[in-house]
C-alpha cells in the first residue's frame, strides 16, 4: 500500500527534518544489507547496534526516504531526501502496519505454537495459493519487527498468512492487536521458552493472547492432540480441531513413512481420502491437517488442497532430507530444538526405511532450571532405544546419556562428546552404506557445521 510521507508523519506523530512530504512510499526495510531501490529505510536501535547511523548508506543503495529516532548529521542545503524523525522506530513500524491492516478487507491467518509454526505457515500458504494471491511471513520473521514489515509489504494480495512468535507475556497480544486475525492457528503447546515463562500452562496463556486481537465468531484451528490445547474451551469462536489421536473434525490415520514423503488417510465429515505429503513423519501430518482445515475454511476443494500440499517448500534445516554418497541419508533438523520437536524427529528417524539409524543430538538451550528434566525426558524416550547409535554433544546432553543408560540402552550404543571436531571424526569413521543420520540441536550448537562436514565427506 502506498503511503505519502505526509501520511506517515500523521500516523507516527513524526517530524520531517527535510525532504518532500508528498513523496509516496510502498516498501520498507530495516537492513542496509538487503535494502532495495525505492525502499524506505527504518533505523532500529538495538543493544549492540544502532541502525539510525546508517541512513546515508541506505540512501546510497537506493532508499528514497528514511525513518529514524535520532539524527545528528549535518545536511546539505539541497538535500531533498525525506528524513522522518520519530520517538521510537519500532513503534512507528507497528503503527504503520496497524494503519495498513485497518484498510484491508481480506482474511488474515495467524499461526502460533511452540513448534511447527514455520512449516505450518508454509503449508497453509502453499495450499491457499491454489486459489488466492497470498502474502506470507518470510522465513521466521515473526516478531515485533518481522510481522509489521510483512503487513507493510501488502499490495493487492487476497490473503495474508502471518507467523507469530514470542518468548514472554504480552508479545503475542501486541502482534495480534496489530494484525487482527480472522483465523488463528495453534500448532501445539510445548516447552520452548519454559525457562522464561516457568510452566507449560504459562506458555499456553501467552499463546492464547492471540484472541485479544480477534473478533468473536472468528475461526480457531488447533492441534487437538496436544494435551493442553485439547482442553481449552474457545467460547464464542468457531473451532476446528485437528489430530491423529483425540476425537477431532479432521483426523489423520494410517501413516506410512517412505523416502522423502509420508502417506496417510484423512477423515473429514465421515469421508476418507488418501493424501501424500512430501515430508517425513507425524509432525508434518499434524501440520498438514491444520493447513487442510484452513483451506476448507476459505472454500478450497480437496483437489486444490492436495495440489497445494504437493507444492510446499519448507524452509531449510527443518527435517530436510539430504542424500549423500553410498546411499547415506541425513535428516537435517538443525534449525532449532525443543523437547516436542526432538521427540517427533526421533520417531521419524526410527520409522525411516534404512539399514541403521544414528541419532546425533545436541543441547536444547534456554531451558534454565528445567534443563536436566527436559534432557532426561529425551533419554527416556522409547524411540531412542530403537536407534543403532546415539552420539551426543554439549553440556546438557550428559543427562540424556545418564537417563538412556538407566533405561537399558547399552553403553556401547551411546557416546558423549565435548568438542564438535571429535563428534565429526566419530561420524566419519562410523557411518556405513545405507545409514540414516538425524541431526537435532538448538541453533546455537552450530550443528549446521556438522551437516556441511558430512556433505564434504
48 pLDDT above the threshold of 90: no
pLDDT at 99: 98
Q: How confident is the model at residue 432 (pLDDT cuts 50, 70, 90)?
A: very high
Average pLDDT over residues 379-401: 95
78 pLDDT above the threshold of 60: no
pLDDT in tens, 398-407: 999 999 999 9
pLDDT at 116: 87
pLDDT at 73: 83
Average pLDDT over residues 389-395: 96
pLDDT at 370: 92
pLDDT at 77: 58
Average pLDDT of the residues of the chain = 93
Average pLDDT over residues 245-268: 92
Query: DSSP secondary structure string, 330-353?
Result: EEEE-S---HHHHHHHHHHHHHSS
Average pLDDT over residues 354-374: 93
List Cβ neighbours of 10 (8 Å cut-off, separation of 6 or more): none
pLDDT at 191: 86
* Burial readout 141-166 (b: 16 or more C-beta within 10 A, e: otherwise): ebbbbbbbbbbbbbeeeebbbbbbbb
Estimate the crossing angle of helix 117-128 against helix 282-297, to 10 degrees: 40
**Alpha helices (H) in 259-388, listed in sequence order:** 282-297, 302-310, 339-351, 371-379, 382-385
Pairing of strands 108-112, 183-186: parallel
- Cα gap 137→190, rounded to integer Å: 22
220 pLDDT above the threshold of 60: yes
pLDDT in tens, 131-174: 999 999 987 789 999 999 999 999 999 999 999 999 899 999 99
Domains of the chain: residue spans and CATH: 3-87 (3.40.1390.10), 104-310 (3.40.1190.10), 320-456 (3.90.190.20)
Average pLDDT over residues 8-13: 97
**Alpha helices (H) in 103-216, listed in sequence order:** 117-128, 146-151, 171-179, 194-197, 200-207
The pTM of this model reads: 0.90
| % of the chain beyond a pLDDT of 70 | 100
Average pLDDT over residues 21-32: 94
pLDDT at 259: 77
Amino acid at each position: 500500500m502506498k503511503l505519502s510521507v505526509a501520511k506517515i508523519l500523521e500516523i507516527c506523530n513524526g517530524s520531517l527534518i527535510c525532504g518532500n512530504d508528498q513523496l509516496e512510499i510502498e516498501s520498507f526495510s530495516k537492513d542496509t544489507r538487503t535494502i532495495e531501490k525505492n525502499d524506505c529505510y527504518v533505523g532500529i536501535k538495538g543493544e549492540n547496534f544502532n541502525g539510525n547511523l546508517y541512513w546515508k548508506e541506505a540512501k546510497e543503495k537506493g532508499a528514497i526516504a528514511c525513518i529514524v529516532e535520532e539524527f545528528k548529521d549535518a545536511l546539505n542545503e539541497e538535500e531533498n531526501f525525506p528524513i522522518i524523525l520519530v520517538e521510537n522506530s519500532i513503534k512507528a513500524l507497528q503503527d504503520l502496519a496497524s494503519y495498513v491492516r485497518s484498510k484491508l478487507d481480506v482474511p488474515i491467518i495467524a499461526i502460533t505454537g511452540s513448534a511447527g509454526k514455520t512449516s505450518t505457515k508454509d503449508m497453509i500458504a502453499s495450499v491457499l495459493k491454489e486459489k488466492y494471491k497470498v502474502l506470507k511471513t518470510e522465513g521466521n520473521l515473526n516478531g515485533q519487527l518481522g510481522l509489521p514489515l510483512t503487513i507493510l509489504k501488502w499490495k493487492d494480495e487476497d490473503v495474508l498468512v502471518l507467523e507469530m512468535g514470542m518468548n514472554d507475556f504480552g508479545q503475542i497480544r501486541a502482534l495480534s492487536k496489530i494484525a487482527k486475525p480472522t483465523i488463528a492457528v495453534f500448532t501445539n503447546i510445548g516447552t520452548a521458552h519454559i525457562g522464561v515463562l516457568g510452566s507449560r500452562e504459562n506458555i499456553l496463556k501467552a499463546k492464547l493472547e492471540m484472541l485479544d486481537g480477534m473478533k468473536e465468531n472468528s475461526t480457531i484451528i488447533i492441534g487437538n492432540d496436544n494435551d493442553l490445547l485439547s482442553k481449552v474451551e474457545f467460547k464464542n469462536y468457531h473451532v476446528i480441531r485437528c489430530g491423529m489421536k483425540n476425537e477431532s473434525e479432521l483426523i489423520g490415520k494410517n501413516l506410512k513413512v517412505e523416502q522423502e514423503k509420508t502417506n496417510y488417510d484423512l477423515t473429514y465429515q465421515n469421508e476418507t481420502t488418501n493424501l501424500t505429503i512430501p515430508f517425513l513423519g507425524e509432525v508434518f501430518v499434524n501440520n498438514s491437517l491444520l493447513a487442510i482445515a484452513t483451506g476448507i475454511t476459505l472454500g478450497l476443494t480437496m483437489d486444490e488442497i492436495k495440489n497445494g500440499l504437493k507444492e510446499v517448500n519448507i524452509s531449510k534445516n527443518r527435517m530436510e532430507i539430504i542424500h549423500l554418497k553410498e546411499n547415506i541419508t541425513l535428516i537435517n533438523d538443525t534449525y532449532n530444538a525443543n523437547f516436542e520437536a526432538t521427540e517427533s524427529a526421533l520417531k521419524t528417524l526410527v520409522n525411516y526405511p534404512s539399514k541403521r539409524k544414528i541419532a546425533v543430538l545436541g543441547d536444547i538451550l534456554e531451558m534454565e532450571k528445567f534443563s536436566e528434566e527436559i534432557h532426561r525426558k529425551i533419554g527416556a524416550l522409547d524411540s531412542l532405544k530403537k536407534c543403532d547409535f546415539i552420539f551426543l554433544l554439549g553440556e546438557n546432553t550428559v543427562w540424556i546419556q545418564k537417563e538412556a543408560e538407566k533405561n537399558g540402552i547399552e553403553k556401547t550404543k551411546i557416546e558423549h562428546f565435548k568438542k564438535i571436531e571429535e563428534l565429526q571424526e566419530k561420524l566419519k569413521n562410523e557411518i556405513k552404506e545405507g545409514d540414516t543420520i538425524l541431526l537435532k540441536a538448538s541453533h546455537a550448537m552450530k550443528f549446521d557445521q556438522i551437516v556441511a562436514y558430512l556433505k564434504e565427506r
